[in-house]
């Protein structure tokens, strides 16, 4: 039974049916399709288009369909093109000819748009909770190891000493922005297209405001032409998800590097590593490598939909059927990935001795320049003078603190002093107390702000 077959007197080519059908992937919308159909039936009843008995029959049949899906007994038919066809067919089997009234004034165009919005709304709420779990794991690491120092890097070269907690929290704030983007997108997801018909709206008196209230939508789409073709909300979700994937990839990359034997800054729990089929000693960071690799998949899904949309004429076109697979794949990927990343972070163990051993006097060169600035030397000159000291220390093969006092005095008279205060790593780190810095008090403020961000949900 095809919902559009009235004008045809030949069967669809079998290969065309296979190409055209979406049931293999859109069946996951069953819950939302039942939900939307229930609201539409009630809207038809309020408009005087269904009797009390007809509404009761339709609602009973929809409840039976819902129960069959819940029990895993709903049987798809080979001719079911999509979830809408499958449900209308089954409803007809359950309640008879009255099933044909459910589609009154409704098109698959506004029906699927409604289903997808309901589905995405529910998925975004789940994603928010999963991202929050990763954030909570990061925050716990920061709280437990607030005084642990490590090298900070730019260009993957040692730069300045920082707190491990400060490094961990940098990813907390990336994920916080991801949550904010997805929440912002949710407000545009939560707009009702149902009642737009195929493209022109309907003339049957079904109250769209009532439908929005029944389905929990915050707004009603203002233009029926736009409503049936609008996939901006999916693009926004895929874009936010792609950026979330990039952030997870960056975190994974840092941890992959820090977990190497050469760095040894963190130790990964064996539950999140795998071995080698050839080399018995290996513990590969596969969870993190998959996080890094799947970022490409998430970016690709965004690109796919943008290309699908870029040349479409107005209103609904069958191309829009291609919106679901990249959407579903992105959501599935993140639902798989985020709990694993939370587990990696919860169980990883920082290695203080290795981090401390990697700290070098050269990382305090900027602090030495700041010392000169406090003596009245212009920074640009101070930078040049400290560069000379660094070159001298490298030539002698000694750390900066081991350069003789007379060498420093020769570079600049202001350096003819006890510089031990400059080469105190803890003091240098804690001197950075500006908002967002790596000093202890500043990091403690970050931790408190992070706690509030999690409690605000």
Q: How far is CA 355 from CA 5, 133, 148, 152, in A?
A: 70, 27, 8, 10
Please list the alpha-helical segments (H only) found in 149-231: 164-189, 208-215, 224-229
The pair of three-digit structure tokens given for residue 174, joined into one six-digit string: 């990336």
107 catalytic per annotation: no
Catalytic residue among 187, 202, 203, 276: 276
155 catalytic per annotation: yes
CB 153 within 8 A of CB 159: yes
- Give buried/exposed letters for 312-343 (b at 16+ CB in 10 A, else e): eeebbeeebbbbbbbbbbbbebbeebbebbbb
- Which residues lie below 8 Å from residue 109, measured CB to CB, with a gap of 6+? 196, 197, 198, 199, 228, 315, 316
Nearest to 245 by CA among 289, 298, 287, 303: 298
CA distance 62 to 88: 9
Q: What is the DSSP letter of 422?
A: T
Catalytic residue among 155, 203, 277, 420: 155
CB 297 within 8 A of CB 333: yes
Q: In whole angstroms, what separates CA 319 from the centre of its chain?
A: 26
Catalytic residues: 155, 276
């Amino acid at each position: 039974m095809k919902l559009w077959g009235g004008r045809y007197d030949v069967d669809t080519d079998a290969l065309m049916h296979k190409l055209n059908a979406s049931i293999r992937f859109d069946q996951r919308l069953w819950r939302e399709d039942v939900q939307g159909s229930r609201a539409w039936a009630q809207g038809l009843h309020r408009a005087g288009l269904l009797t009390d008995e007809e509404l009761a029959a339709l609602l009973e049949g929809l409840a039976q369909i819902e129960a069959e899906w819940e029990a895993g007994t709903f049987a798809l038919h080979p001719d079911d093109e999509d979830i809408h066809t499958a449900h209308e067919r089954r409803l007809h089997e359950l309640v008879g000819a009255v099933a044909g009234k459910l589609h009154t004034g409704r098109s698959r165009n506004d029906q699927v748009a409604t289903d997808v919005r309901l589905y995405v709304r529910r998925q975004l709420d789940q994603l928010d909770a999963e991202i929050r779990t990763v954030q909570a794991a990061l925050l716990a690491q920061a709280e437990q190891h607030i005084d642990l120092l490590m090298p900070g890097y730019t260009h993957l070269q040692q730069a300045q000493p920082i707190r491990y907690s400060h490094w961990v929290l940098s990813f907390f704030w990336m994920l916080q922005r991801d949550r904010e983007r997805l929440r912002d997108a949710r407000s545009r997801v939560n707009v009702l297209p149902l009642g737009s018909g195929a493209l022109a709206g309907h003339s049957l008196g079904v109250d769209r405001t009532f439908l929005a209230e029944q389905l929990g939508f915050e707004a009603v789409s203002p233009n029926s032409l736009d409503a049936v073709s609008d996939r901006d909300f999916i693009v926004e979700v895929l874009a936010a998800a792609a950026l979330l994937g990039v952030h997870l990839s960056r975190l994974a990359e840092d941890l992959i590097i820090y977990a190497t034997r050469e760095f040894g800054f963190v130790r990964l729990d064996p539950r999140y590593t795998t071995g080698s089929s050839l080399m018995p000693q290996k513990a590969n960071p596969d969870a993190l490598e998959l996080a890094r690799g799947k970022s490409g998949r998430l970016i690709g899904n965004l690109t796919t939909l943008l290309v699908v949309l870029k040349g479409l004429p107005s209103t609904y076109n069958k191309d829009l059927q291609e919106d679901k697979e990249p959407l579903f794949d992105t959501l599935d990927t993140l639902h798989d990935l985020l709990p694993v990343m939370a587990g990696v972070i919860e169980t990883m163990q920082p290695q203080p001795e290795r981090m401390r051993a990697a700290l070098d006097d050269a990382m305090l060169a900027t602090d030495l320049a700041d010392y000169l600035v406090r003596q009245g030397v212009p920074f640009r000159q101070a930078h040049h003078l400290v560069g000379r000291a660094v070159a001298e220390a490298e030539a002698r093969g000694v750390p900066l603190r081991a350069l003789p006092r007379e060498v420093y005095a020769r570079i600049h008279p202001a350096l003819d002093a006890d510089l031990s205060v400059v080469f105190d790593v803890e003091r240098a780190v804690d001197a950075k107390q500006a908002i967002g810095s790596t000093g202890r008090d500043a990091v403690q403020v970050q931790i408190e702000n992070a706690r509030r961000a999690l409690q605000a949900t």
